[in-house]
Structure 1
Amino acid sequence: MNIAFLTPEFPHPKTGKAGGIGTSILNLSEALSSLGHHVTVFVYGQDKDDYFVENNIHYHKIKNIKVKGLSLILTLKKVERLINKLHDSGKLDIVEAPDWTGFTAFVSPVCPLVLRLHGTDTYFCHLERRAVKLKNKFLEKRALEQAKGIISVSNYTGQLTNELFALNNNYTVIPNGVDVNIFEPKQSNSNKLIILYFGTLIRKKGLLDLPEIFNIVHKSNKEVTLLLVGKDSGDVKTGSPSTWKLMQPLFDKSAIKKVRYLGAVPYAKIQDLINDATICVFPTFAEALPVSWLEAMAMEKAIVASNIGWANEMIEDGKEGFLVHPTHHKVYAARILELLDNANKRREFGKAAREKVLKQFSHDLVAKRSVEFYKNILETC
């Protein structure tokens, strides 16, 4: 099968840094390619138009057209022409795109176009309790209505998306996946106590609650270090260009001495950082089904994460990790301290977490389920 992905981000040196959407597409693309499928990735918003092939995956960099008032529609039609050209030449059967900002609202290729729900802007604004741009909501709803099929990475995301857009779309739940052969536990040479957070530094990920949580942890355990990894981000609520700058005054003077911020690191280095961590924390308010959690779980790391919505589809509280609301700082800190003090509990959670990933979130399993979905769409279109 000839499968293409249309995305605003992808973690490749030639296409720039990426977040969870790009990482999930990378994992799925590699798994589909290993199963013998022809995979193409279209990445728009690039610095130039370009084409290259690497590890049997075909990449098209797409530069957006800039004409005042017409940039979006002209870029959409540019993408549409490229898709149709590849389809007409027999190199493309079906296209998948994420739901973010409804980029595909006015893309009508000759082949089926399906959406995978990673969370619209409307979805995340709802979870963050802030207003969504009417333009984005309009485009996202139209894209959802135009799609030939819909996959959701979690049932929670599918249900809430329908509710927010007053839709009754059928959707198939296929979670994000992770390569369990890359993200696998290794012997660590570190004997330090490290709490690791990796992901974007942004309010919606609970990064303004994490200092309060760590302050409590530090008062009980002066040896533990909080390691932060990921790109810094501006803050919508305050207008600050840096969430990291907002975080720093929230740490106690003593606690901040045990905080290290590495910034963004190459994707290949993440495995080493997870491997050396004692536990991983994800106090987020807004996700769909985070790849970062899966990566930590696959490497047998004990996790303390948010207990909102999607979380119960990934972790059973007290079995593969602890789930706590990010605003319950004392309880969250208590769960971290419990794991820091109990190596057996950490191992127990880690083993159970990897076992769950192997059974439900391996990228090979996700790829096979996705292929079956694509086949069904092609048969009905």
Structure 2
Amino acid sequence: MHIGFLTPEYPNPQSTASGGLGTSIKNLASSLVAKNIKVSVFIYGQKQDLIFKENGISFYFIKQKKYRFLGWYLYRKYVQKVLNVKIQKEKIDLIEAPDWTGITAFIKLCCPLIIRMHGTDAYFCELEGRKQKYRNRLFEKMALKSADALVSVSTFTAEKTKEIFKLKQAITVIPNSIETAKFTPSKKTVVRNRLLYFGTIIRKKGVLELAFIFNEIVKSNPEAELWMIGKDVLDIFEKKSTLELFQEKLSLQAKQRLRYFPEVSYSEIRKQLAEAAMIVLPSFAEALPMTWLEAMAMEKAMVTSNIGWAKEVMINNKTGFTENPKNHKAYAEKIIKLLQDPELAQQMGKAAREQVLKKFSTEIVVKQNIDFYTRIVEN
């Protein structure tokens, strides 16, 4: 079997910036190759056209083209042409694409097309309570309804997307996976009282609520420190740096206990995860977050949000604590409890890794994907 992935991002030094979507595709692609399945990855919107092979995966970078009129349509037709040539030449059995902004609207392929729901723009707009561009909604709806099969990374995302677009197709649920051999418990001594947030510095990740939560924490524990790692983005509502908005909400005492780092390497993320006493991820909008799986796989105690998908990942009071990020005091109290009780934090961290090994390891999830792909190809 030969599987092709169409994606706007992938963690490779030669491609444009990548986030959780790219990481999830990389984990799946690598695990498929390990099972002797051929994989080709088509990355659109790139700075240049490139073709190369790496770690058993064939890569095709598709350069972003500029058009005077109807660029959204003409670029899709260009991507379609590139895909169909390779599908026929390389005998690709199916193409998988993400749901984000409906890239496959107007694209007709000579093999089955699967769309994996990592969260449409409509989905995130719904969760964030903001208005969506009409064109994005139309393209996403067209792409989903014309797909040969749909798969979602969480039940919550599947049900919410089905409701938003009034979909009638069946949706298979297969979670994101993580290479647990790469994210393992560290023997490093943790830095007592250090909290770590990692991910994009953006409103939907609960970053602005985290400011108020951290204010509460330093009142009770003046030794607490917050390390934040991630790319700062322009806030969608206030049109200014989210990091600046975050800092404006901090008390003077809390500001003195903050350290911020822009994007860092994967290896540096693992180092910082290992050193943190615990992880805080108060997100309002996810499909099934890779950051949560990475921290859990490293046996880190966590306090996360309790919204939607959270119950499919975390077990409250066992793998960590879940709480509504808007309830600043209650959220802070759970963090303080773990800082004060390292034994409980360690116990929850171990339970978190067990949860990942049982439900989200590539060894388990790759089989679910192969069975799913086989059914689509055979049908």
Range class of TM-score, shorter chain: over 0.9
SS at 2:82 equivalent: helix
Once the two structures are overlaid, the 10-residue window that deviates more, 350-359 or 361-370, is 361-370
**CA deviation vs aligned residue, 1:272-322 (integer Å, no higher than 9, x gap):** 111111111111110010000000000000110000000000111101110
Distance in 1 (CA, whole Å) between partners of 2:252 and 2:3 is 53
1:147-296 equivalent positions in 2, closer than 5 A: 147-240=147-240, 242-296=241-295
Does residue 1:21 correspond to 2:21, yes or no? yes
1:74, distance to aligned residue in structure 2 (A):
1.8
Distance in 2 (CA, whole Å) between partners of 1:203 and 1:125 is 12
1:125-136 equivalent positions in 2, closer than 5 A: 125-136=125-136
1:162, distance to aligned residue in structure 2 (A):
0.6
**CA deviation vs aligned residue, 1:90-111 (integer Å, no higher than 9, x gap):** 3411111110000111111101
Letter in 1 for 2:268: K
**CA deviation vs aligned residue, 1:52-92 (integer Å, no higher than 9, x gap):** 11111111111122112221222212221222112212341
**CA deviation vs aligned residue, 1:123-178 (integer Å, no higher than 9, x gap):** 00000001011101100001010111111000000000010111122111100011
SS at 2:191 equivalent: coil
1:190, distance to aligned residue in structure 2 (A):
4.1
- Percent identity reads 46
Distance in 2 (CA, whole Å) between partners of 1:165 and 1:275 is 41
Partner residue, 1:83: 83
1:373, distance to aligned residue in structure 2 (A):
0.6
- What TM-score do you get using the length of structure 2 for normalisation? 0.98
Distance in 2 (CA, whole Å) between partners of 1:69 and 1:222 is 58
Is the CA contact 2:191–2:277 (under 8 Å) kept in the aligned structure 1? no
Unaligned runs of 5+ in 1: none
Letter in 2 for 1:65: K
Once the two structures are overlaid, the 10-residue window that deviates more, 327-336 or 272-281, is 272-281
1:364, distance to aligned residue in structure 2 (A):
2.3
1:33-44 equivalent positions in 2, closer than 5 A: 33-44=33-44
Is the CA contact 1:64–1:71 (under 8 Å) kept in the aligned structure 2? no
1:51, distance to aligned residue in structure 2 (A):
0.9
Distance in 2 (CA, whole Å) between partners of 1:131 and 1:229 is 28
1:191, distance to aligned residue in structure 2 (A):
3.4
Letter in 1 for 2:297: A
Once the two structures are overlaid, the 10-residue window that deviates more, 186-195 or 149-158, is 186-195
Distance in 2 (CA, whole Å) between partners of 1:121 and 1:167 is 16
Partner residue, 1:344: 343
SS at 2:233 equivalent: coil
Distance in 1 (CA, whole Å) between partners of 2:293 and 2:2 is 27
SS at 1:254 equivalent: helix
Distance in 1 (CA, whole Å) between partners of 2:187 and 2:73 is 52
Once the two structures are overlaid, the 10-residue window that deviates more, 323-332 or 357-366, is 357-366
SS at 2:3 equivalent: strand
- What TM-score do you get using the length of structure 1 for normalisation? 0.98
Partner residue, 1:102: 102
Distance in 2 (CA, whole Å) between partners of 1:190 and 1:121 is 38
Partner residue, 1:116: 116
Distance in 1 (CA, whole Å) between partners of 2:9 and 2:236 is 21
Distance in 2 (CA, whole Å) between partners of 1:343 and 1:91 is 54
Matched residues, number: 379
- RMSD over aligned Cα atoms: 1.0
Letter in 1 for 2:37: H
Is the CA contact 1:83–1:92 (under 8 Å) kept in the aligned structure 2? no
Partner residue, 1:143: 143
Once the two structures are overlaid, the 10-residue window that deviates more, 259-268 or 64-73, is 64-73
Is the CA contact 1:235–1:243 (under 8 Å) kept in the aligned structure 2? yes
